[in-house]
Structure formats: structure tokens, C-alpha cells
Amino acid sequence: MISAQLRDAAMVVDLKALKHNIKQQQAALPAGSRILAVVKADAYGHGAVPVAHAAKEAGVDGFCVAMLDEGLELRNAGIDQLMLVLGLTPVHYAPVAALNDISLTVGSVNWLKEYAELAKNESLPPLKVHLALDTGMGRIGFRDAAELKQALALVNQPAFVFEGMFTHFATADAADDTYFKRQLGRWHDFLDAVDQKPPYVHMANSAVGMWHRKTIAANTVRMGISMYGCNPSGRELPDSLDLQPVASIVAKTTFVKHLQAGESISYGATYTAQNDEWVATLPIGYADGYLRRMQGFKVLVADQECDILGRICMDQMMIRLPESMPIGTEVVLMGSSKGKTLSATDLADHAHTINYEILTSITPRLMRRYKN
Ligand SMILES: *Cc1c(COP(=O)(O)O)cnc(C)c1O
């Protein structure tokens, strides 16, 4: 898809804020801790390659992606640190990982057997693997110590390098830590079953890095949403790191008109002016990932909050201006303007979703503009 450059609408990505957030997390961890920057889904919509380069400058030890193609994109862009695929990779694609020094997550004994068989016939470099342990997320991974023991016997074959083991928490962002503690107990049971620990032992996502730092029995944090300056819990728990939002969305007005009381706006004519008012059109819509569900929300013009009027269209939307303003007036749809802020979490609340989904919904058509 094209990234439209010849229009005044963009997602602005502040790489200095990204580095600041990484440094905040680093400073809050014990000395010697490592951070893997989670840059899956095009770095949560921020652009994987520029984000990875900035995170590398901030001193992260490596990267996590969701799938092999995402890892390859970064390898091709010259990122040469640890690159872990968090999802599962079918055995027949795994040689690509071995050949590109990409580490894979493994969650079953059969997978290890099948890959070892395939590698024997193909003289591949050893494949780096991280064993996923299911302590209660219920998504992927070994489910008990007996299964893990079988896997440990297999990863010591020459086809593999046993690089890591990890788990993932389902409720680390919740105020109630009952389930978290249950998972933590199982994680410790797994750790006790492994005599020879691999170099990377990791259990912390952003939420663990923010609210359960004292429980981190591991040497590595997988930093995702907090690196992008968002609170993993939305509003349930207060920020425990000084985070700065990385992404904002801006656009300039393309059309301004005076509307008379009784006239309507946009598809379905769902909005009808009660008074005379000034209305501006913005060149951004739901095909850019500014969700149609944002109808009824607001935007910022200088220090004023302005209502979105009527339905959001595919490529355009309308807002009420406080007064007549020239075409080309700057509008902030997400981010800060003159002391006012609309955060990704504010947008998420309006759309009944989470800040993660707001960010990853921004489509490639909206140009990413990098700052700092
Ligand atoms: C996506 C993901 C993360 C990052 O989660 P955040 O909540 O954004 O920190 C960490 N670990 C795994 C296994 C993931 O899938």
C-alpha cells in the first residue's frame, strides 16, 4: 500500500520519546538486566525499521517480532542483534530462520523432532530456539515439567542452540494479582526443573516491567506497549514509569465553510447543526485507521477541543471550528496541543477498545513522519 505523502495528514513518531521510555525501564531494572524491544506488527504501527534503529541506539539487547517475515524485514534493514519470533513457525519455514540467524519460539516436542530430522538432510546452521512455557496464558507452549524435560533433551542436539526459555502473563496489567501469582508459581516450578539455564530467561512484558518488577525471576524484559509510551492497563493501574507517548496523529484542514442551523453533515445525515457554525474538513478517515467508531469524539485545534461532526468517511471527516479559521489550520487527532492531550487510551476508551488496537489499526496509507 502507498504511504500518501502529498497530503497534510501524518502519524508523527517521536524517536526521542521512544528512547526516553527505554531508558526509564532500564533504570528501573537491576543491573545486568536486558531488554528485548517488541517491534511486532510494524512496531505497533510506528514503523519497525526506524523504531528498531532507535531502540538499538538506546541500548536494547535484541528484538521480538510476531512472525518470521517481520524478523526478515529487520535483518534486511541491517539489524543484527538477537531477533526472536514470538509466534510459532511451521517446521518447513524454519530453515529460513536458521539461515538468517533468527531465533524461533518452540512449544512442542514434535516440532523439535521434525526440525532435527529436516536439518539433518539440509546441512543448516544451528537454529536458535526459545522454549515457550504455558503457565496460564493458554496460548502456546509446554504445559508441564515432564514435557519440558523431553524438550530439553532434544534442544541439546547439534541442530539447535538452546538460547532461551520464557513465559507470558495473562493478567499482569490487572489490579487483582491473584491469577498473576498463580502463573508466577508455575513459572518457578518450570525454572526449578531446568538445571542448565539458557542465556535468555524471560517472563516480563511491559506490565510486569511496570508493576511486578520485584517478581522478575529472569534476566530479560520484553518491552512492548510501554516503549511506545502507553499504559498497558489503560487506566486500571497508574503509570509506574515516566512514559512519553511516541505517536501522534495530525492533519491540516482542507476545506472550511459556514454552516447554517438545520443543515446536516456526512453520510446518513446523522448530524444536523442547531446553530450557525464553522465546519472544517480533514483529509483523513477510517481507511487511515482513524476508526469509524470515533464518531462523536473530538480533536484539538491549538488549545481548543473541537467536536467531530457526523460519520467519519473513508478518507475525510468533518469537525466544528470555534470560529472561522483558514484552510491549512493544524489539527491534532491524537497527541498534545498547547497543553491539551488526546492519548491513545482516550481514543481507545471512546472506541471501546485498548490503546494497542488504536495504534496497530493505523494503516500504511497514513505517512509516518519521524522526529528526532
Ligand atoms: C506482544 C507480546 C509482548 C509485548 O507485550 P506488551 O504488553 O506490549 O509489553 C511480550 N511478550 C509476548 C509473548 C508477546 O506476544
pLDDT of residue 224: 98
Chain position carrying cell 487506566: 235
Return the amino acid letter for 81: Q
Each residue's pLDDT tens digit, 281-328: 999 999 999 999 999 999 999 999 999 999 999 999 999 999 999 999
CA dist., res. 78 & res. 22, Å (int): 21
289 lines ligand 1 (CB under 6 A): no
Q: Whose CA is nearest to atom 11 of ligand 1?
A: 205
pLDDT of residue 181: 97
CA distances from 179 to 124, 196, 320 (A): 42, 28, 46
Opening angle at CA 215, ends 213 and 216, nearest 5: 70
86 lines ligand 1 (CB under 6 A): yes
pTM attached to this predicted model = 0.97
* pLDDT over 70 percentage in the chain: 100
Chain position carrying cell 494503516: 363
CA 253 / ligand 1 centre spacing (Å) = 37
Pocket test for ligand 1, best of 205, 216, 237, 356 (most atoms within 8 A of CB): 205
Q: Whose CA is nearest to atom 6 of ligand 1?
A: 224
35 lines ligand 1 (CB under 6 A): no
Inform me whether the pLDDT recorded for 187 exceeds 80.
Answer: yes
Inform me whether the pLDDT recorded for 342 exceeds 90.
Answer: yes
Sequential DSSP letters for 212-272: -GGG--SSEEEE-GGGGT--TTTTSS--SS-----EEEEEE--EEEEE-TT-EESGGG-EE
Using 50, 70 and 90 to split pLDDT, how confident is the model at 217? confident
pLDDT of residue 2: 84
225 lines ligand 1 (CB under 6 A): yes
CA 24 / ligand 1 centre spacing (Å) = 18
- Please give the span between the terminal C-alpha atoms of the chain, in angstroms, as a whole number: 26
Helix (H, G, I), strand (E, B) or coil at 98: helix
Over residues 333-347, the mean pLDDT reads 98
Helix (H, G, I), strand (E, B) or coil at 29: coil
Over residues 262-282, the mean pLDDT reads 98
Each residue's pLDDT tens digit, 66-90: 999 999 999 999 999 999 999 999 9
Q: What is the mean pLDDT of the chain?
A: 97
Q: Whose CA is nearest to atom 14 of ligand 1?
A: 86
Inform me whether the pLDDT recorded for 122 exceeds 90.
Answer: no
209 lines ligand 1 (CB under 6 A): no
Each residue's pLDDT tens digit, 157-181: 999 999 999 999 999 999 999 999 9
The 8-class DSSP code of residue 159 comes to: T
Identify the CA nearest to 96 among candidates 120, 117, 69: 69
CA dist., res. 308 & res. 290, Å (int): 12
CA distances from 125 to 102, 153, 184, 224, 331 (A): 11, 19, 35, 30, 52
Query: What number does the ligand 1 atom closest to the CA of 166 have?
Result: 13
Identify the CA nearest to 166 among candidates 204, 128, 137: 204
* Active site (catalytic) residues: 40, 267
C-alpha cell at 139: 496460548
Using 50, 70 and 90 to split pLDDT, how confident is the model at 123? confident
Inform me whether the pLDDT recorded for 211 exceeds 80.
Answer: yes
203 lines ligand 1 (CB under 6 A): no
Using 50, 70 and 90 to split pLDDT, how confident is the model at 49? very high
Inform me whether the pLDDT recorded for 1 exceeds 80.
Answer: no
